Structure 1
């Protein structure tokens, strides 16, 4: 009887241990698993067409080719302009005369498209977030900040909403401090909503983005922009894919 009792106790401890492991799974682990991060990062590069508008005006229309490790990327605009980035260096066509947003464009749209796969990047800090919005029960929500010196805008933050049923990211509120004015950015936060997920080689990718104003405690406010991702595919690249023309400027 003692042996049977000991066996039952051991089995109970194993069961409790298994349940504890399930409970211990972090927000980022659940989201990355749902987004098939391991499959995504096993690919070399992804390519897609991105059309973006704000306030009814076209903001961007380009084909993006990005390494899945985010170290290199190419934006080939429909008007013939090109932006290439290699880690922290950005090269761009001399025909781009208004170059204030070149670095912003080089990194931001790729970051938004890769966002579900970058939650545990070096320099990320995750904290609990008390979601007081009326539909809070539908989401797991946490806040992302960054260690000093991370990227071009370490003062940015994100409030990330994952659908409780699917663990896919549906919304991410954020501030843009690229200009360096954090107080101004925090006075006007925005949000990106990820919609119409489609599987590409087993990886769910949002094919529609909607941009909103955002207010803490309220959530999404005014609709301000839209984006569509089409012709999404995983590709292989060559040494020449991200090679800048000698005439290109640097930023």
Structure 2
């Protein structure tokens, strides 16, 4: 009888301890919410989203977009020859753009169409100039645009220092050149955008083989703070490939100056009477 009493007490103790353990685990589970998918479920940023957010924070995207518009002087040399010299004015959300060239011709994007003024001005490369250089300027603020797709890459050397890279592609039907791609380089400490390799597929008709043979890269340099926001005032262009990264001599140079924020767009983006539309 004594033996059975001891056995009963032992079994009761084990059962009580098990119930106590289960209640403790249940309480822990109630106190500590678990994110699905390894921490990228509801309420948590994915690794690539967190990476993009860190770049936007480094470039003060929120402060940049609080301004209505921004203007800057731009001087472009490619192959040692002048390509464009003028003043760019654009809404900070990139939905309207105006380029006033030193030759007194103008390019205007009113949010839907591109116009060249005067009508007899040289339209060669007009649409390319309208969207390419403004995209390079505004790239840190457009990483999360609709239609963007990202893939985090490996570290790559830039100026003998490792930089985090990521590849940007676009969904079909995004913008003028959805077949373009970019490989961006960011400073691993500051999270600022320091370079972007790219191809130009505009006008290829969907055949990007030629563009894929000759990628280029822009290297952002000489950052200056304007109203607490960092801007690269010198862009150097080089050849680029997967194996070497940036290589060779400079093939192009862009100088940015007189960066000024505007509080109103006024009538800057209205189409002049003596203008013609530039179509694709």
The reply to whether TM is greater than 0.5 is: yes
Runs of 5+ unmatched residues, structure 2: 1-19, 34-38
Conservation of the 8 A alpha-carbon contact between 2:69 and 2:263: yes
Q: Does 1:205 align with 2:231?
A: yes
Q: Which moved more, 1:120-129 or 1:149-158?
A: 120-129
The one-character-per-residue Cα deviations of 1:139-175 (angstroms, maximum 9, x if unpaired) are 1110000000000000000000001011001110000
- Give the structure 1 partner of residue 240 of structure 2: 214
Q: Does 1:67 align with 2:94?
A: no
Q: What's the Cα RMSD here?
A: 2.5
Distance, in Å, in 1 between the alignment partners of 2:260 and 2:121 is 31
- Give the structure 2 partner of residue 246 of structure 1: 273
Q: Does 1:105 align with 2:132?
A: no
The DSSP-based 3-state class of the residue aligned with 2:90 is strand
Q: Give the number of the structure whose alpha-carbon radius of gyration is greater.
A: 2
Distance, in Å, in 2 between the alignment partners of 1:237 and 1:56 is 37
- Give the structure 2 partner of residue 87 of structure 1: 111
- Give the structure 1 partner of residue 193 of structure 2: 169
How far does residue 86 in structure 1 lie from its aligned partner after superposition? 1.6
- Give the structure 1 partner of residue 171 of structure 2: 147
Q: Which moved more, 1:154-163 or 1:26-35?
A: 26-35
The DSSP-based 3-state class of the residue aligned with 2:211 is helix
**TM-score normalized with structure 2 length:** 0.79
Conservation of the 8 A alpha-carbon contact between 1:134 and 1:218: no
How far does residue 128 in structure 1 lie from its aligned partner after superposition? 2.4
Runs of 5+ unmatched residues, structure 1: 15-19
Conservation of the 8 A alpha-carbon contact between 1:198 and 1:207: yes
Distance, in Å, in 1 between the alignment partners of 2:263 and 2:182 is 31
Distance, in Å, in 2 between the alignment partners of 1:34 and 1:104 is 28
Q: Does 1:77 align with 2:101?
A: yes
Instruction: Give the length in aligned residue pairs.
Output: 240
Distance, in Å, in 2 between the alignment partners of 1:46 and 1:240 is 14
Distance, in Å, in 1 between the alignment partners of 2:271 and 2:113 is 11
